[in-house]
Chain A
Protein backbone atom coordinates (compact mmCIF):
# COMPACT_ATOMS: atom_id res chain seq x y z
CA UNK A 1 0.00 0.00 0.00
CA UNK A 2 1.23 3.43 -0.82
CA UNK A 3 1.44 6.07 1.84
CA UNK A 4 -1.49 8.35 2.45
CA UNK A 5 -1.15 11.90 1.18
CA UNK A 6 -0.42 14.41 3.91
CA UNK A 7 -0.85 18.14 4.23
CA UNK A 8 1.83 19.80 6.35
CA UNK A 9 2.11 23.34 7.56
CA UNK A 10 4.76 24.58 9.99
CA UNK A 11 4.91 28.02 11.51
CA UNK A 12 7.01 29.66 14.23
CA UNK A 13 5.08 31.92 16.56
CA UNK A 14 6.89 34.64 18.48
CA UNK A 15 5.38 33.73 21.82
CA UNK A 16 6.07 31.20 24.59
CA UNK A 17 4.52 27.77 24.22
CA UNK A 18 2.05 28.10 27.10
CA UNK A 19 0.62 31.22 25.51
CA UNK A 20 0.34 29.58 22.07
CA UNK A 21 -1.37 26.57 23.63
CA UNK A 22 -3.84 28.89 25.35
CA UNK A 23 -4.62 30.63 22.06
CA UNK A 24 -5.51 27.21 20.59
CA UNK A 25 -7.46 25.85 23.50
CA UNK A 26 -9.42 28.81 24.88
CA UNK A 27 -12.42 29.09 22.55
CA UNK A 28 -12.65 32.84 23.12
CA UNK A 29 -9.12 33.25 21.77
CA UNK A 30 -9.44 30.51 19.17
CA UNK A 31 -12.47 32.12 17.55
CA UNK A 32 -10.50 35.34 17.11
CA UNK A 33 -7.99 33.80 14.72
CA UNK A 34 -9.37 30.52 13.33
CA UNK A 35 -10.80 31.02 9.85
CA UNK A 36 -9.38 33.55 7.44
CA UNK A 37 -11.15 36.88 7.52
CA UNK A 38 -14.55 35.50 8.40
CA UNK A 39 -16.70 35.24 11.50
CA UNK A 40 -15.98 32.09 13.50
CA UNK A 41 -18.54 30.89 16.03
CA UNK A 42 -17.55 28.07 18.38
CA UNK A 43 -20.73 26.31 19.45
CA UNK A 44 -19.03 23.78 21.70
CA UNK A 45 -15.50 23.18 22.83
CA UNK A 46 -14.86 20.21 25.09
CA UNK A 47 -11.12 19.76 25.26
CA UNK A 48 -10.62 16.10 26.11
CA UNK A 49 -10.37 12.83 24.21
CA UNK A 50 -13.92 12.05 23.11
CA UNK A 51 -14.90 15.73 23.35
CA UNK A 52 -15.70 17.89 20.36
CA UNK A 53 -15.19 21.38 18.97
CA UNK A 54 -18.22 22.42 16.91
CA UNK A 55 -17.29 25.23 14.59
CA UNK A 56 -19.32 27.51 12.35
CA UNK A 57 -17.79 29.93 9.91
CA UNK A 58 -19.98 32.69 8.57
CA UNK A 59 -19.61 35.11 5.75
CA UNK A 60 -22.52 37.12 4.50
CA UNK A 61 -25.57 34.87 4.65
CA UNK A 62 -23.49 31.71 4.08
CA UNK A 63 -22.19 29.36 6.72
CA UNK A 64 -19.85 26.44 6.83
CA UNK A 65 -19.86 23.85 9.59
CA UNK A 66 -17.23 21.48 10.87
CA UNK A 67 -16.73 19.17 13.80
CA UNK A 68 -13.40 18.46 15.41
CA UNK A 69 -13.49 15.31 17.55
CA UNK A 70 -10.54 15.36 19.95
CA UNK A 71 -8.50 12.16 20.08
CA UNK A 72 -5.51 13.26 22.12
CA UNK A 73 -4.93 16.27 24.34
CA UNK A 74 -1.46 16.65 25.86
CA UNK A 75 -0.92 20.17 27.21
CA UNK A 76 1.02 22.06 26.07
CA UNK A 77 2.56 19.76 23.48
CA UNK A 78 0.08 17.99 21.31
CA UNK A 79 -3.49 18.08 20.01
CA UNK A 80 -5.01 15.42 17.78
CA UNK A 81 -8.51 15.58 16.34
CA UNK A 82 -10.69 14.15 13.59
CA UNK A 83 -11.63 17.08 11.41
CA UNK A 84 -14.92 16.61 9.55
CA UNK A 85 -17.14 18.82 7.46
CA UNK A 86 -20.73 18.62 8.65
CA UNK A 87 -24.22 19.86 7.95
CA UNK A 88 -25.79 22.43 10.27
CA UNK A 89 -26.86 19.61 12.64
CA UNK A 90 -23.23 18.50 13.01
CA UNK A 91 -23.70 15.28 11.01
CA UNK A 92 -20.62 14.45 9.00
CA UNK A 93 -21.34 15.22 5.36
CA UNK A 94 -19.54 15.42 2.05
CA UNK A 95 -19.02 18.88 0.70
CA UNK A 96 -21.49 19.46 -2.12
CA UNK A 97 -18.95 21.35 -4.16
CA UNK A 98 -16.34 18.63 -3.85
CA UNK A 99 -17.96 15.29 -3.11
CA UNK A 100 -14.66 13.41 -3.22
CA UNK A 101 -12.95 15.62 -0.70
CA UNK A 102 -12.14 13.46 2.37
CA UNK A 103 -14.94 13.81 4.89
CA UNK A 104 -12.57 13.40 7.80
CA UNK A 105 -8.95 14.41 8.19
CA UNK A 106 -6.78 13.19 11.03
CA UNK A 107 -5.30 16.46 12.26
CA UNK A 108 -2.22 16.56 14.47
CA UNK A 109 -0.83 19.77 15.95
CA UNK A 110 2.53 19.72 17.72
CA UNK A 111 3.76 22.62 19.82
CA UNK A 112 7.56 22.72 20.20
CA UNK A 113 9.45 25.14 22.41
CA UNK A 114 12.17 27.08 20.60
CA UNK A 115 13.56 29.43 23.24
CA UNK A 116 10.99 32.19 23.65
CA UNK A 117 9.27 31.10 20.48
CA UNK A 118 7.03 28.19 19.56
CA UNK A 119 7.13 25.99 16.47
CA UNK A 120 3.69 24.71 15.54
CA UNK A 121 3.62 21.71 13.21
CA UNK A 122 0.26 20.94 11.65
CA UNK A 123 -0.48 17.76 9.72
CA UNK A 124 -3.65 16.52 8.06
CA UNK A 125 -4.16 13.05 6.61
CA UNK A 126 -7.38 11.48 5.26
CA UNK A 127 -8.82 8.93 7.65
CA UNK A 128 -11.41 6.21 6.96
CA UNK A 129 -11.33 7.57 3.43
CA UNK A 130 -12.52 5.97 0.20
CA UNK A 131 -10.05 5.51 -2.65
CA UNK A 132 -11.71 8.42 -4.43
CA UNK A 133 -11.28 10.66 -1.40
CA UNK A 134 -7.63 9.72 -1.04
CA UNK A 135 -7.06 10.35 -4.76
CA UNK A 136 -8.76 13.74 -4.57
CA UNK A 137 -6.67 14.79 -1.59
CA UNK A 138 -3.46 13.49 -3.18
CA UNK A 139 -4.16 15.47 -6.34
CA UNK A 140 -4.66 18.61 -4.36
CA UNK A 141 -1.44 18.10 -2.44
CA UNK A 142 0.43 17.45 -5.69
CA UNK A 143 -1.01 20.67 -7.06
CA UNK A 144 0.46 22.56 -4.14
CA UNK A 145 3.89 21.04 -4.52
CA UNK A 146 4.25 21.28 -8.25
CA UNK A 147 4.40 24.76 -9.58
CA UNK A 148 0.91 25.99 -9.19
CA UNK A 149 2.49 29.41 -9.32
CA UNK A 150 2.10 29.66 -13.06
CA UNK A 151 -1.43 28.34 -12.78
CA UNK A 152 -2.26 31.08 -10.33
CA UNK A 153 -0.95 33.72 -12.71
CA UNK A 154 -3.45 32.55 -15.32
CA UNK A 155 -6.21 32.39 -12.80
CA UNK A 156 -5.51 35.84 -11.43
CA UNK A 157 -5.78 37.23 -14.94
CA UNK A 158 -9.01 35.44 -15.57
CA UNK A 159 -10.48 36.41 -12.24
CA UNK A 160 -9.54 40.03 -12.75
CA UNK A 161 -11.33 40.01 -16.10
CA UNK A 162 -14.39 38.34 -14.68
CA UNK A 163 -14.54 40.58 -11.67
CA UNK A 164 -14.33 43.78 -13.66
CA UNK A 165 -17.21 45.96 -12.60
CA UNK A 166 -18.26 43.65 -9.83
CA UNK A 167 -16.03 45.06 -7.20
CA UNK A 168 -16.72 48.75 -7.13
CA UNK A 169 -13.77 49.43 -4.92
Chain B
Protein backbone atom coordinates (compact mmCIF):
# COMPACT_ATOMS: atom_id res chain seq x y z
CA UNK B 1 0.00 0.00 0.00
CA UNK B 2 1.30 3.50 -0.94
CA UNK B 3 0.15 6.08 1.61
CA UNK B 4 1.53 2.99 2.72
CA UNK B 5 4.45 3.62 3.49
CA UNK B 6 7.58 3.60 2.13
CA UNK B 7 7.09 0.63 0.32
CA UNK B 8 4.26 0.17 1.72
CA UNK B 9 3.20 1.49 -1.06
CA UNK B 10 1.74 -1.67 -0.96
CA UNK B 11 -1.48 -2.96 -1.56
CA UNK B 12 -2.23 -5.75 0.67
CA UNK B 13 -5.09 -6.88 2.69
CA UNK B 14 -4.31 -9.30 5.34
CA UNK B 15 -5.86 -12.62 4.86
CA UNK B 16 -4.24 -15.67 6.33
CA UNK B 17 -4.47 -17.31 2.96
CA UNK B 18 -1.91 -16.17 0.42
CA UNK B 19 -4.09 -16.83 -2.59
CA UNK B 20 -6.76 -14.57 -1.16
CA UNK B 21 -4.23 -11.85 -0.56
CA UNK B 22 -3.02 -12.05 -4.12
CA UNK B 23 -6.62 -11.80 -5.26
CA UNK B 24 -7.07 -8.70 -3.14
CA UNK B 25 -4.00 -7.11 -4.68
CA UNK B 26 -5.26 -7.77 -8.12
CA UNK B 27 -8.65 -6.49 -7.14
CA UNK B 28 -7.18 -3.26 -5.86
CA UNK B 29 -5.61 -2.61 -9.17
CA UNK B 30 -8.85 -3.22 -10.94
CA UNK B 31 -10.52 -0.69 -8.67
CA UNK B 32 -7.75 1.84 -9.24
CA UNK B 33 -8.14 1.48 -12.95
CA UNK B 34 -11.90 1.79 -12.70
CA UNK B 35 -11.87 5.03 -10.79
CA UNK B 36 -9.11 6.53 -12.86
CA UNK B 37 -5.62 6.91 -11.61
CA UNK B 38 -5.42 10.70 -11.50
CA UNK B 39 -8.72 10.95 -9.82
CA UNK B 40 -7.51 8.72 -7.03
CA UNK B 41 -4.21 10.47 -6.58
CA UNK B 42 -5.83 13.86 -6.21
CA UNK B 43 -8.39 12.88 -3.64
CA UNK B 44 -7.17 10.13 -1.37
CA UNK B 45 -5.96 12.54 1.24
CA UNK B 46 -9.37 14.20 1.40
CA UNK B 47 -10.92 10.77 1.67
CA UNK B 48 -8.96 9.97 4.80
CA UNK B 49 -9.89 13.28 6.35
CA UNK B 50 -13.53 12.64 5.55
CA UNK B 51 -13.47 9.12 6.98
CA UNK B 52 -11.77 10.21 10.20
CA UNK B 53 -15.10 11.46 11.62
CA UNK B 54 -17.40 8.89 13.25
CA UNK B 55 -20.59 10.72 12.20
CA UNK B 56 -19.50 10.72 8.59
CA UNK B 57 -18.70 7.03 8.79
CA UNK B 58 -22.17 6.46 10.20
CA UNK B 59 -23.66 8.43 7.32
CA UNK B 60 -21.75 6.28 4.85
CA UNK B 61 -23.00 3.23 6.64
CA UNK B 62 -26.55 4.49 6.19
CA UNK B 63 -25.94 5.18 2.51
CA UNK B 64 -24.58 1.67 2.04
CA UNK B 65 -28.22 0.59 2.40
CA UNK B 66 -29.29 2.86 -0.44
CA UNK B 67 -29.60 6.52 -1.37
CA UNK B 68 -31.24 8.87 1.12
CA UNK B 69 -32.28 12.50 1.46
CA UNK B 70 -30.79 14.85 4.02
CA UNK B 71 -33.95 14.49 6.08
CA UNK B 72 -33.73 10.69 6.01
CA UNK B 73 -30.09 10.80 6.96
CA UNK B 74 -30.60 13.29 9.79
CA UNK B 75 -33.43 11.36 11.45
CA UNK B 76 -31.54 8.57 13.25
CA UNK B 77 -28.69 10.88 14.28
CA UNK B 78 -30.79 13.47 16.12
CA UNK B 79 -28.85 16.03 14.18
CA UNK B 80 -30.03 19.18 12.46
CA UNK B 81 -30.35 19.04 8.69
CA UNK B 82 -27.79 21.84 8.25
CA UNK B 83 -25.33 19.84 10.34
CA UNK B 84 -25.92 16.79 8.14
CA UNK B 85 -25.56 18.93 5.03
CA UNK B 86 -22.17 20.05 6.24
CA UNK B 87 -21.00 16.47 6.64
CA UNK B 88 -22.42 15.58 3.24
CA UNK B 89 -20.42 18.39 1.69
CA UNK B 90 -17.20 17.00 3.12
CA UNK B 91 -18.05 13.54 1.86
CA UNK B 92 -18.99 14.90 -1.56
CA UNK B 93 -15.76 16.87 -1.84
CA UNK B 94 -13.82 13.73 -1.01
CA UNK B 95 -15.66 11.93 -3.79
CA UNK B 96 -17.20 9.40 -1.43
CA UNK B 97 -20.78 10.28 -2.29
CA UNK B 98 -22.61 11.94 -5.12
CA UNK B 99 -25.85 13.93 -5.03
CA UNK B 100 -28.47 14.73 -7.60
CA UNK B 101 -28.38 18.34 -8.61
CA UNK B 102 -31.79 18.66 -10.20
CA UNK B 103 -34.03 17.33 -7.54
CA UNK B 104 -35.29 19.27 -4.60
CA UNK B 105 -34.43 16.44 -2.24
CA UNK B 106 -30.91 16.02 -3.51
CA UNK B 107 -30.60 12.42 -2.37
CA UNK B 108 -27.07 11.29 -1.59
CA UNK B 109 -25.55 8.09 -2.89
CA UNK B 110 -22.41 6.21 -1.97
CA UNK B 111 -19.61 6.12 -4.51
CA UNK B 112 -18.09 2.87 -3.50
CA UNK B 113 -14.98 2.62 -5.63
CA UNK B 114 -13.27 5.63 -4.13
CA UNK B 115 -13.94 4.52 -0.61
CA UNK B 116 -12.76 1.02 -1.35
CA UNK B 117 -9.41 2.31 -2.52
CA UNK B 118 -8.95 4.54 0.50
CA UNK B 119 -10.04 1.86 2.89
CA UNK B 120 -7.77 -0.70 1.33
CA UNK B 121 -4.90 1.70 1.58
CA UNK B 122 -5.34 2.07 5.29
CA UNK B 123 -6.13 -1.60 5.85
CA UNK B 124 -3.09 -2.61 3.94
CA UNK B 125 -0.84 -0.28 5.84
CA UNK B 126 -2.26 -1.44 9.11
CA UNK B 127 -1.87 -5.07 8.26
CA UNK B 128 1.49 -5.02 6.52
CA UNK B 129 3.56 -5.74 9.56
CA UNK B 130 0.88 -7.83 11.26
CA UNK B 131 0.67 -10.26 8.38
CA UNK B 132 4.42 -10.23 7.83
CA UNK B 133 4.95 -11.01 11.51
CA UNK B 134 2.54 -13.93 11.28
CA UNK B 135 4.70 -15.22 8.45
CA UNK B 136 7.80 -14.63 10.57
CA UNK B 137 6.23 -16.77 13.30
CA UNK B 138 6.09 -19.61 10.79
CA UNK B 139 9.69 -19.08 9.69
CA UNK B 140 10.85 -19.14 13.33
CA UNK B 141 8.92 -22.33 13.96
CA UNK B 142 10.72 -24.06 11.13
CA UNK B 143 14.07 -22.61 12.27
CA UNK B 144 13.49 -24.02 15.75
CA UNK B 145 12.53 -27.40 14.33
CA UNK B 146 15.69 -27.43 12.20
CA UNK B 147 17.82 -26.49 15.22
CA UNK B 148 16.32 -29.32 17.25
CA UNK B 149 16.92 -31.79 14.46
CA UNK B 150 20.57 -30.85 14.24
CA UNK B 151 20.92 -31.20 18.02
CA UNK B 152 19.48 -34.71 17.83
CA UNK B 153 21.80 -35.70 15.05
Contact = CB atoms under 8 A, between A and B. Distances in A.
Contacts of B131: 36-37
Interface string A27-69: 0010011111110000000000000000101011010111000
Interface stretch (B69-77, B81-89, B98-106, B109-117): B109-117
Contacts, number: 209
A65 B14 CA distance: 19
Contact of B127 (A13, A36, A100, A101): A36
Given A97-B3, A142-B52, A153 B61 contact: yes
Interface in B121-148: 121-123, 125-133, 135-141, 143-144, 147
Q: Is the interface of A mostly helix, strand, loop or mixed?
A: mixed
B23 interface: yes
Nearest to A99: B41
B16 to A, nearest CB: 9
Main SS class of interface, B? helix
A124 B5 contact: yes
A144 B126 contact: yes
Contact of B116 (A22, A124, A139, A159): A159
B122 A167 contact: no
Given A32-B135, A98-B2, A59 B54 contact: no
B130 A158 contact: no
Contacts of B52: 139, 142-143, 146
Nearest to A66: B7
A161 to B, nearest CB: 7
A102 B7 CA distance: 10
B145 to A, nearest CB: 11
B143 A9 contact: no
Nearest to A161: B112
Contact of B23 (A100, A147, A152, A167): A167
A163 interface: yes
Interface of A: 7, 9, 11, 13-15, 19-20, 22-23, 29, 32-38, 55, 57, 59-60, 62, 64-66, 83-85, 95-105, 107, 120, 122, 124, 132, 136-137, 139-140, 142-144, 146-148, 150-155, 157-159, 161-163, 166-167
